[in-house]
Structure 1
Amino acid sequence: MKKMLSCAAILALCLPVAFPVPVSGQDAAVKPGETIEMTGSFLEPLQKRDSALIADQFRYGFHLKDVPAGTRFMLPDLSKGLMDSVDVVSPWLVDTVKVHGSRKSPSAYDIDVSMVLTSFEEGRRDLVPLAVGRSGPDGRVDTLVFDPQSIEFFTMPVDTATYRIHDIKGQIRYPLTFAELLPYVALVWGIAIVAILVWILLSRKKAASEEAAYKDPPYVVALRKLDHFRSNKYWAPEKQKAYYSGITDALREYIAARFGFDAMEMTTAEIFGRLRHTDVPADLYEEIKTLFETADYVKFAKAFASDEENAVALPSAVRFVTTTYQSQLAEEEAKAAASAGDNAKGGEK
């Protein structure tokens, strides 16, 4: 023991590291160069446990009280380790616990000096004593040796009777919740709705363009509707209202397209008041007027038309459509011829 203390004292005094911190005045009677055995070392776990497991970390150091101001320490260099199987995690740390006297001119200090240790091997460790060189304010030099501490490291106990080696577990996959899926579902639904609306809009535009390109002329539409009533089964009293309504509605639509006024919203008198000033022949005008008046009696007065009136109703409507359409074709041909003549005269000039 004396040999170990002597080596520790020589090592501490020869170290180039000097730490200018105050140290204790517990040994005023010690002669220069002497080795002084001290108490006050401590070993504290950084994590409070009922036992020390491998890789647990501990503070290992000492306390000093009433250290005179101006005292200097020489701490051993433990950067390469404290001893076998014990590693130094953090180097020396000096902490001032208490200051005696005024803060501007303190007379003494209470200090804690410690480092952080750990071990990665199971077993008991008897730590080496802490030897620290000290140089007092009066020039006296000595070595303080603090009593050592012991610690035992354990591993987690394994039941060798039931222990089985298992493969590494894969990553835990937690189930998705509705709240997590909701933004993605809303996004998909939003894209689908927008796509459907765009498709509907494009389809309608295409249908409208095709309808405009392939729309039948008004006289063809009127004749097709009138052809639907080409049967005397509509002459029965209970079917006459539908018969005359269908014929006059087809004629109203044709008149609106052919002569350019809203015949669908006009009365019979208003329609024929406008037709009086057109190129409709007088006999055809009177024939169609009689047809509309008969239809008004059947639809609104609940009257019944005779078989003679029923027989001439549909042929009169067809004759009106074909006659007025042929006159329209003649007008268009005359306009085209006149336009061609004007262009020819302009070319000769």
Structure 2
Amino acid sequence: MSRMMSHILLVRLLVAALLLAPPAACSRPADTGASDSSRTTATRGPVELTVTVDSDTIETGTPLTVELRALAPDDVELAMPLLEIPEDALIAGFHVLENELLPDYPDGERRAWTQRMVLDTFETGTLQIPGVTARFTDRRGAVEVTGSVTTDPIEITIRSYAAEDTAGLRDIRGPVSIPLTNWGLWLLLGGATLLAAGIVIIQMVRRPGRGTPPPLPPHLLAQRQLDALESERLLERRCFQPYYVRLTDILRHYIEGRFGMLAPTRTTPEFLDDMRGSDTLPAPQQSQLHAFLRIADLVKFARHEPPIDQGEQALRMARCFVVDTQPRTVTAEETD
């Protein structure tokens, strides 16, 4: 009887152990993390078009890679490029930094056409990579057929470097009233100030021909500022950010003084839009200025470190821009 009870107890223990042990087939795989890339695909007829971005959330000035890929049978030809880049290299608020067209190649039973772009922007908020329309020609049948396929837009969220933790910031206090208790002291100080100002004015009036010198013309002021910037040798000390900040400020203030455009107070996209909307500068100088400001923004906001010779070339470009746009009545002595 005791042996039978022992067997029953052993069986119960085994059953309990099996019930408590987790089954191996129900274990969940470890979460490897999801990619923040985004894509959209559209298919029409024999063509499948996919647009992929490497991230749907970036910070201002961070490069964004966009790949356009079309798949089609052998006798279907895609029109390249899949997306035309405008002359101003702007797509819906993004700057086009690179644009690469890859040769088509076989992909299984189809061929693949690829276009790869690198974009950036200094705007914040939500922008859209617009829908891409690819045009194709189908020669598989007796009659040649043309068509197109269009993808949906992709939303990109752009965050600013400045949009970090601001919990420690406090509101500005209002004005603080200072009690005036000793009127005699205040009257004495006011009288002394008026007396000193009167003496200075009398001395200035008595000095014939020694008034305040007229301000320098914008082109001469810019040339002197460029000389001073070069003498500081910031590039040799690898101080790229202050160098490009100074260089762009000099050019922006020169443009304001020379042409009356509010360049210092405008963002780069706003300033370029204003420039394109006027006939102040010819197209070659607008393109040159656009390329220079784009590189300078990468250095100032995205911590890009260009080669030293590129910084020297930017300084030469700024000098040439000032000389080319200065008033034509400038004498030879002024340009020295």
Superposition TM-score tier, normalisation by shorter sequence: 0.3 to 0.5
TM-score, L = length of structure 1: 0.36
- More helix per residue: 1
Q: Bigger radius of gyration, 1 or 2?
A: 1
TM-score, L = length of structure 2: 0.37
